[in-house]
Amino acid sequence: MKIKKAKILEVSAVDFTVKNLLLPLIQSLMANGYEVDISCTKGKESALLEREGYNFKYVRIGRKFNPFSNLKSISGLYRVMKQGGYDIVHVHTPSAAVLARIAAKLARVPIVIYTAHGFYFHENMPRIEYIFFTNLEKILGRYFTDYIFVQSKEDYKIAKKLRIIDVDKLIWINNGVNLERFNLQRVKIDTVSFRQILGTPSNGIIVTYIGRFVKEKGILDLLEAFLIVSKHHSDIYLLLVGDASSDERDIEIKQKIRVFLNLEDVNSKIVLTGYREDIPEILKVTNIFVLPSYREGLPRSIIEAMAMSIPVVATNIRGCREEVIDGETGILVPPGDVGALASAILKLYRNPDLREKMGSNGRKKAEELYDERKVIEKELLIIDKLSNKVRAGKK
């Protein structure tokens, strides 16, 4: 007799993560016979997905530590889990991963999986914070988690060294993108017209940032570096693709960005596109991709840029240095070093042959290591085994 597949709850703090990171896995799970619900804070992305047929169980999950709101989130998640009768709860993003694992334990969910898209603790964090968050992960890993999936090899090694969870329950899954969609040859647009739509000239050099407008992504460092770069060259432009959330901290960052936009020297050279769906098209007209983060897991945006044959400037931090081979697929700079960031951008600006070489090397690496299909196949294989186990136990 065929065993019915597990009922799964995917949990994330915000619907942006669901739409932009989790959807391929959710679609594959559903295509393979799983019943999948999604829990996150309600937003415009989830509203669109609901209309497409995805099932949401909304719980407001904040991104900051606040005892009152955190307890409300745990209580809300607990009710969802008890009522839903889930076999597997799969959690993502730092705050949701903490709160949902506690709720799952209280609700006695049989299997709890945490995908660490990047552990919250990192090397550039103050020592006292690093100790606190690593110990928190140890407690959660040992007592509230059955399996941890990590995307970064460095995260895998750190988790193994710190004994966050038993090594047989720690699984490296990697990260990836749709290599057919992110393929320079397959994106068919009139680049001249598209550049004009974006507000950039047809013959300028475009530097692109894609991501949330948050301090930890280094976006203010990028703006300062661009001020330096634009003083040397008048035909370089900066595309900022993304937006800030309604969070107070993010709104403050967006206000600081507006200050740069009001500077006479660069106000015509910085373009805020807002949130966009056409990322392959934007990357098609991009010459240099930049991600100057302070903390990452294994950033998808860099993989997308590499897949589109674009050289990358990134910070020498966990995740970024795993993807970017310094001097071969891009340039790594110290986090927070505005001068080094500007120099790296200038180096690529002045050397089109180097840009082409690094872009070509990046595409080869993406094809070799970052195929989204292989990542999902690995996850499905593990989830299938867990599903069979938990369902067999219920017979």
Residue with tokens 């997308």: 304
The per-residue pLDDT for 247 is 61
Residues 314 and 332 sit within 8 Å (Cβ to Cβ): yes
Same domain, 200 and 317: yes
Assigned token pair, 4: 């019915």
Same domain, 363 and 388: no
Residue 48 lies in a domain: yes
For each of the chain's 395 residues, which pLDDT tens digit applies? 456 789 999 999 999 899 999 999 999 999 999 999 999 999 999 999 999 999 999 999 987 778 899 999 999 999 999 999 999 999 999 999 999 999 999 999 999 999 999 999 988 889 999 999 999 999 999 999 999 999 999 999 999 999 999 999 999 999 999 999 999 999 999 999 999 999 888 889 999 999 988 888 999 999 999 999 998 898 999 999 988 766 656 677 878 888 887 777 777 889 999 889 999 999 999 999 999 999 998 999 999 999 999 999 999 999 999 999 999 999 999 999 999 999 999 999 999 999 999 999 999 999 999 999 999 999 999 999 999 888 776 65
Residue 152 lies in a domain: yes
**Separation of alpha carbons 168 and 315, rounded Å:** 32
**Separation of alpha carbons 119 and 340, rounded Å:** 26
Residue 181 lies in a domain: no
Same domain, 157 and 299: no
Helix 338-349 to helix 352-369 angle (10° resolution) is 100
Same domain, 240 and 103: no
> What are the strands, taking DSSP E only, across the chain?
7-14, 35-41, 55-56, 88-91, 111-116, 147-150, 170-172, 205-210, 236-241, 270-274, 288-291, 312-315, 330-333
DSSP assignment letter at 134: H
Same domain, 221 and 149: no
Same domain, 166 and 18: yes
The CA R_g of the chain, rounded to the nearest whole Å, is 21
Assigned token pair, 15: 């619907």
**Separation of alpha carbons 231 and 164, rounded Å:** 48
Same domain, 216 and 312: yes
**Separation of alpha carbons 51 and 118, rounded Å:** 30
Strand, helix or coil for residue 195? helix
Number of domains in the chain: 2
CATH number at residue 56: 3.40.50.2000
Assigned token pair, 218: 């280094």
- In sequence order, which residues have a C-beta less than 8 Å from that of residue 18 and are 6 or more positions away? 10, 12, 26, 38, 40, 45, 46, 49
Assigned token pair, 312: 């990358």
Q: Residue 292 CB: number of other CB atoms within 10 A?
A: 28
**Separation of alpha carbons 141 and 113, rounded Å:** 10
Q: What are phi and psi of 330, to 5 degrees?
A: 175, -165
Strand, helix or coil for residue 276? coil
Strands 35-41 and 205-210: unpaired
DSSP assignment letter at 298: S
Residue 389 lies in a domain: yes
The per-residue pLDDT for 260 is 80
The per-residue pLDDT for 1 is 46
Residue 186 lies in a domain: no
The domain in which residue 203 lies consists of: 191-369
**Separation of alpha carbons 27 and 194, rounded Å:** 31
Q: Residue 242 CB: number of other CB atoms within 10 A?
A: 19
Residue 2 lies in a domain: no
Same domain, 210 and 340: yes
**Separation of alpha carbons 207 and 198, rounded Å:** 13
Residues 101 and 113 sit within 8 Å (Cβ to Cβ): no
The per-residue pLDDT for 249 is 61
Same domain, 159 and 224: no
Query: What is the pTM for the complete model shown?
Result: 0.90
Residue 224 lies in a domain: yes
Same domain, 122 and 199: no
Same domain, 287 and 257: yes
Strand, helix or coil for residue 205? strand
DSSP assignment letter at 371: B
Same domain, 132 and 262: no
Residue 31 lies in a domain: yes
